[in-house]
Amino acid sequence: MKKDIPIHKVEDLAIAVAPREDTFDFTQEEEDLWDVYLLNLRNEPISSVLVNSRGYGELNGEQQRTTVLRHFFEEIGPLAAVQIEPIQTKLFSIANEYWVSFVYNGYMYDKKYIFVQESISENHFTTIPFLNRKGVMIR
């Protein structure tokens, strides 16, 4: 029965988007690449990590969608960050979604992280753990 399936809340996991150290100039062209990271803030590893990423929204009056990308990591160690993918700065004008599924202590967890339109900007910068860089992070 559905009521017998335990629902576990995802905690101590984050997605971060940070400019590459050599492209921290906001005046450059739109082809700048930033990096997207998955941070395991737990004191134990997580395994069978699957990340689906996609972008969607309206840009210049037209609906835009990016290709769905899938990334798999067999294990992410405790208190660690792994790079998921690069992202072009021109995609910051649409919503960017990262759906993360993983196994921890024998249970499967999943959570969607959505960077809404224009939320990836210098105005929302914070220090990203393990990277010692500034960027935007969702926990």
Q: How many domains does the chain have?
A: 1
Positions of the chain with pLDDT under 50: 30
Distances (CA, A) of 94 to 85, 113, 138: 17, 14, 16
Provide the pLDDT for residue 5.
75
Q: Which residues pair with 16 in a beta bridge?
A: 37, 137
pLDDT score at 31: 59
> Is 25 inside a domain boundary?
no
Which residues constitute the domain of residue 127? Answer: 2-20+31-138
* Alpha carbon distance 43, 63 (integer Å): 41
What pTM, to 2 d.p., does this model score?
0.89
CATH code for the domain in which residue 110 is found = 2.60.40
CB 38 within 8 A of CB 47: no
> How many other β-carbons are positioned within 10 Å of the β-carbon of residue 132?
7
Q: What is the pLDDT of residues 69-79, one digit of tens each?
A: 999 999 999 99
Secondary element (H or E) of residue 75: strand 69-76
Q: What is the pLDDT of residue 2?
A: 72
Residue 7: the pLDDT is 79
Does residue 26 lie within any of the structural domains? Answer: no
The predicted pLDDT at position 22 comes to 65
- The Cα–Cα gap between 53 and 55 comes to 7
pLDDT of residue 30: 43
